[in-house]
Amino acid sequence: MPTFVMLIKMSPELANNLASLEEVERRLSDKSREACPEVTVTTHLALLGPYDFLNVVEAPSQEMAFRMASVMMASGLAASVETWSALHFTYPKMLQLMIGI
């Protein structure tokens, strides 16, 4: 299944009321299971820097990854979500892709 990386900036409202983070995450989990049952979050990390969270997700298509990002935005958790496609690779596979061997 294709892999996507989501870089998430927390909404200012949530940043000002971190006590509600658990409730917002619970709502997000419920809504994402309903809207995107095929999407699996494989890794969820808190970050230091310009983004607050990084999620690695597996989704059957770009459209489903986009739907997951939209659910995050609508939940009130995120002020922005950048979604990038990602490839699992090994060095031999990378060399094969780069130089065609």
Kindly report, residue by residue over 7-18, the tens digit of the pLDDT: 999 888 877 777
Domain extent listing, the chain: 3-99
- How far is the C-alpha of 48 from the C-alpha of 19, rounded, in Å? 19
Kindly report, residue by residue over 46-67, the tens digit of the pLDDT: 999 999 999 999 999 999 999 9
Q: What is the pLDDT of residue 96?
A: 80
- How far is the C-alpha of 69 from the C-alpha of 84, rounded, in Å? 11
Domain 3-99's class?
alpha beta
The pTM for the full model equals: 0.81
Which H, E and C letters describe 36-70, residue by residue? CCCCEEEEEEECCCCCCEEEEEECCCHHHHHHHHH
- How far is the C-alpha of 61 from the C-alpha of 57, rounded, in Å? 11
